[in-house]
Copies of this chain bind each other. A is one copy, B any other.
């Protein structure tokens, strides 16, 4: 029941992008360095975010990435689902219509549990907007007098 590094690194990267976006595109190498994430790996994560319409890539020199929408309109749920796939605790047809139908559905009672968990997770993450995290991040960075992060290994 853990997120993978895709969700953890990816969310940090998007928050970094939201915080460090002026009007310019932000190069992935900068995000990678600030966040202490391998750039090659981060490329794969940002590709998912691009595919989901959360960021836009700008090619060529001086290129980089920008948010595809105002941060106020991007929920943490949008970001995590883009990175991790659906956030339900099981692959269950009742929860997720792209899963294969389950031949035990009639007798299954645990499906009620999975539905409750799934709904509660999605409600939680859809209630937090990227702008909330970006504002908080700016606040704590200002308080600490930080411009460069580049932290050692983090668990979260």
Contacts and interface: CB of A to CB of B under 8 A. Distances in A.
Nearest to A149: B107
Interface stretch (A39-47, A56-64, A108-116): A108-116
Interface residues of A, number: 56
A156 B92 contact: yes
B155 A128 contact: no
Interface string A117-156: 1011101110110000100110011001010010110111
B2 A156 contact: no
B155 A107 contact: no
B91 A154 contact: no
Contacts of A11: 110, 113
Contacts of A97: none
A50 interface: no
Contact of A107 (B106, B114, B117, B144): B144
Contact of A110 (B12, B87, B149): B12
A98 interface: no
Interface of A: 1-3, 7-8, 11-12, 15, 76, 84-85, 87-94, 99-100, 102-104, 106-114, 116-117, 119-121, 123-125, 127-128, 133, 136-137, 140-141, 144, 146, 149, 151-152, 154-156
Given A76-B113, A108-B156, 15 more contacts: A1-B84, A1-B88, A1-B89, A11-B113, A91-B155, A99-B155, A102-B155, A103-B154, A104-B154, A106-B144, A110-B133, A111-B156, A112-B136, A113-B128, A117-B121
